[in-house]
Amino acid sequence: MAIPKAQRWLLVALVLSGAASAVSGSIDPYFLDVVMGVGVGVVLASSLNLINGFTGQFSLGHAGFMAVGAYTSAMLSTVVAPRMGWGAGALQWVFFPASLVAGGLVAALAGLAVGAPSLRLKGDYLAIVTLGFGEIIRVVLQNVDAVGGARGLTGVPTHTNLLWTFGTASLTVYTVWALLESTRGRGFLAVADDEVAAEAMGLDTTRYKITAFGIGSFFAGVAGGLYAHLKGYLNPGGFSFEKSIEIVVMVILGGMGRHAGVVFAAILLTLLPEGLRELGSRSIPNPFGGPAWSLDWIKDARMILYSLLLILLMLLRPEGLFHRRQPRRPSS
């Protein structure tokens, strides 16, 4: 049976991730770490794009859901797996993805718990409520000793590899795309455009928004699991409101509700800080003789540039950097 075109792309992406993973032993570990960070960023940005971009909601709590998934899967790996003897060998290949899915599901539950009551709020109110939920999650994590409290959770096995990160990234992008490319899925955009008209056309807008929150949070949770098993430790401070903003900026830069643009923005914004940090540790030779010019100031200016970029983007190109001006291609 012929595989439809869309799934063929997904398959190609999965095979490539597997192949890259197989040769990853020969890749510089620092570089590998950065590249996997890119994969996690793509999962986060694409899933938030479903909520903020396509459905027109404004969540500022994505890092909170990521934290829920990260802690869930990390606890499964550090507490449950060793006790059951599942951590090692071939079983790891079953248990690890299962723990990622479990993290995703718990995050989705958290997303539904947040989404269901707060969805009658709009715009900036919703933004603040989701921000509040994200902060509550962080404060709770900081206060629960069983997960390490403010010290953080250490000793998470580093199971994450290129296959898992890019496999998940491909699946996330595909799922969001496929969901939208259907008559039912076009409803997400309709809800974003005009809720009153969407209800009048028979769309249960609440259900659409909850679905977006549930699916978006699920993938945020999976991304959290990947992150936990990539870094090997977790710290509640890493899931603060600044992290949520970082993901929001990826979605905005990519042009709110553009599949490829957001993926591209996620890649760019994950690499950019790394690149600038690398650049900042170098110096350029002084053409007039004398001591070499240090580029140390770049480290300092990194976050300043980042925030200036955000402001300028809103002033000059609020539709995003990668927004195509022609209309979106009609579906199927």
Partner 1 sequence: MTEFLQQLLNGVLLGAIYALIALGYTMVYGVLRFINFAHSDVFMLGAFAAWVSVEKLGLPTRSVPGGLAALLAAMSVCAVLGVVIERLAYRPLRQRSTLTVLITAIGVSLLIQNVAQSPRLGFGPNPRAFPELFPSSQLHVGGLTVSTHQLVVLAVALVLLAVLYWIVHRTRIGTAMRALSFNATAASLVGIDNDRVISFTFGLGSALAGAGGVLYAMNYPSIDPLMGTLPGLKAFVAAVLGGIGNLPGAALGGLVIGLVETFVSGTRLSTFRDAIAFGILIAILLFRPAGLLGRPRVEKV
Partner 2 sequence: MSASASLLQLTGVTIRFGGLTAVSSVTADVREGELAGLIGPNGAGKTTLFNLITGVYQPTDGRIDFAGSGTAGRRPFHLTGLGIARTFQNIRLFPSLSVAENVRVAFHRHLRHRAWHSILRGRAFLAEEAELAERALELLGIFNLERFRDAPARSLSYGDQRRLEIVRALATRPRLLLLDEPAAGMNPSEKDELMRLIRFVRDRFGLAVLLVEHDMKVVMGICERIHVLEYGRKIAEGSPAEIRADPKVIAAYLGD
What residues line the site for partner 1 (CB under 8 A)?
Answer: 58, 117-118, 120-121, 123-125, 127-129, 131-133, 135-136, 139-140, 142-143, 196, 241, 245, 248, 252, 297, 300-301, 303-304, 306-308, 310-311, 314-315, 318
Residues 216-235 that bind partner 2 (CB under 8 A): none
Q: Note whether 274 binds partner 2 by CB under 8 A.
A: no
Per-residue DSSP letter, 288: T
What proportions of the chain, in percent to the nearest 5, are helix, strand and coil?
75, 0, 25
Neighbours of 44 (CB within 10 A): 32
Q: Classify the phi-psi angles of 202: left when phi > 0, otherwise alpha if psi is within -120 to 50, otherwise beta.
A: left
Q: Of 50 and 75, which CB lies nearer to partner 2 in the complex structure?
A: 50
Q: Note whether 122 binds partner 2 by CB under 8 A.
A: no
Among 92, 142, 181, 233, binds partner 2 (CB under 8 A): 181
End-to-end CA distance of the chain: 20
Cβ 39 vs Cβ 226: under 8 Å: yes
Q: Of 91 and 197, which CB lies nearer to partner 1 in the complex structure?
A: 197
Q: How far apart are CA 131 and CA 123, in angstroms?
A: 12
Contact range with partner 2 by CB under 8 A, out of 121-129, 174-182, 267-275, 305-313: 174-182
Residue for token pair 């900081």: 142
Q: Of 94 and 301, which CB lies nearer to partner 1 in the complex structure?
A: 301
Binding flags for partner 2, 4-23, as an x/- string (CB under 8 A)? x-xx----------------
What pairs with residue 283 in β-bridges? 294
| Residue 124 contact partner, candidates partner 2, partner 1, none, CB within 5 to 8 A by sort of partner | partner 1
Q: How far apart are CA 73 and CA 69, in angstroms?
A: 6
| Residue 127 contact partner, candidates partner 2, partner 1, none, CB within 5 to 8 A by sort of partner | partner 1
Rg over CA atoms, the chain: 21
Element at 208 (helix H, strand E): helix 205-231
Sign (positive or negative) of CA dihedral 115, 217, 175, 248: positive
Q: Of 33 and 274, which CB lies nearer to partner 1 in the complex structure?
A: 274
Q: Note whether 324 binds partner 2 by CB under 8 A.
A: no
The three-state secondary structure class of 234 is: strand
Q: Of 302 and 317, which CB lies nearer to partner 2 in the complex structure?
A: 317
The least CB distance from residue 116 to partner 1, in Å, is 10
> Both tokens of residue 215?
């699916």
Q: Note whether 198 binds partner 2 by CB under 8 A.
A: yes
The least CB distance from residue 69 to partner 1, in Å, is 20
Residue 38 CA, distance from chain mean position: 9
Residue 78 CA: distances (Å) to CA of 88, 131, 140, 238, 267: 12, 29, 20, 19, 30
Contact range with partner 2 by CB under 8 A, out of 95-103, 115-123, 182-190, 314-322: 182-190
| Residue 202 contact partner, candidates partner 1, partner 2, none, CB within 5 to 8 A by sort of partner | partner 2
Contact range with partner 2 by CB under 8 A, out of 90-98, 154-162, 179-187, 230-238: 179-187
Q: Which residues bind partner 2 (CB under 8 A)?
A: 4, 6-7, 174-175, 178-179, 181-187, 189-190, 192-194, 196-205, 211, 257, 327-328, 330-332
